Homo-oligomer: A and B are copies of this chain.
Amino acid sequence: MSSAASQPVRTRVVREPKRAVYDREQVYRILDEAFLCHVGFVVDGQPYVIPTSYGRRGDQLYIHGSAASRMLRNLEAGIPVCVEVTLLDGLVMARSIFNQSMNYRSVVLLGTAVAVHDADEKLEALRLLSEHIMPGRWNDVRPPNEKEMKATSVLRMPIDEFSAKVRTGPPEDDEEDYAVACWAGVVPVAMTAGEPVTDPRTPVVPHPPEYAARYKR
């Protein structure tokens, strides 16, 4: 676990440093629980942020998309990128508006992405991406054909320069505010899955598999 002092200044947490996490294993746990990331990149001085899914293998993050997409075309050129992932865990209701907060776990990862050209690595990255979102799905579906592989870009980014910020627990009010006649606590929030909706067209297999029926992060 690296300390704040040894952390590169670009990913050192400035505000509320007690919430900073520079530990790789903790960061991996956040990355493995979430599956949606927000990718920032710059074109002509303008920042863009695009939501997309990702997969991880060891210290490498994979994203994919249409070979024609603006994001993928730009990132393939090897420009600086920021990947942000946030899990929202609760709405923290303090006794003062100033101390209202959220419980969350977020990761910011800086670096440069490179295009994956090796066919085996590309297919494996697509498997990682799919299994990361819905474990078990890959074996049930038709795998990508040559044309589809060509239409898909996969990028790989090293998990090298990163930090996380985590808040947990009850509100933290100023001492004098604990007497305020106002409920205080946390409203937990989480992403939950509902009953799968079977595609009404040609339901060859009419009932969802376990991984879809009992989906949970």
Residues of A within 8 A of B (CB): 10, 14-15, 36, 38-42, 45-51, 53, 65-66, 68-70, 80-84, 86, 88, 90-91, 93-98, 100, 102, 104, 106, 108, 110, 126, 130, 133-134, 137-138, 140-145, 148, 151-152, 170-171, 177-209, 212, 215
Contact of A179 among B91, B133, B145, B204 (CB under 8 A): B204
Q: A50-B84, A96-B144, A142-B177 are in contact. Are A194 and B187 (CB under 8 A)?
A: yes
Q: List residues of chain B with CB within 8 A of the CB of A88.
A: 36, 191
Listed by A's residue number, 29 A-B pairs whose Cβ atoms lie within 8 Å are A15-B66, A36-B86, A46-B80, A46-B110, A47-B82, A51-B106, A88-B191, A91-B133, A91-B134, A93-B134, A93-B141, A93-B212, A94-B141, A96-B141, A97-B138, A97-B142, A98-B145, A100-B137, A141-B182, A170-B201, A183-B203, A183-B205, A183-B209, A183-B212, A184-B205, A185-B208, A187-B194, A189-B191, A191-B192
Contact of A189 among B38, B40, B194 (CB under 8 A): B194
Q: List residues of chain B with CB within 8 A of the CB of A53.
A: 102
Q: A38-B38, A93-B196, A187-B197 are in contact. List 20 more A-B contacts (CB 8 A).
A: A38-B51, A40-B40, A40-B47, A40-B48, A42-B47, A45-B80, A46-B80, A49-B83, A51-B106, A90-B197, A91-B215, A93-B134, A95-B141, A98-B145, A140-B183, A170-B197, A170-B200, A171-B199, A179-B202, A186-B199
Q: Is the CB of A48 within 8 A of B108?
A: yes
CB distance from A144 to the nearest CB of B (A): 5
Copies in the complex: 2
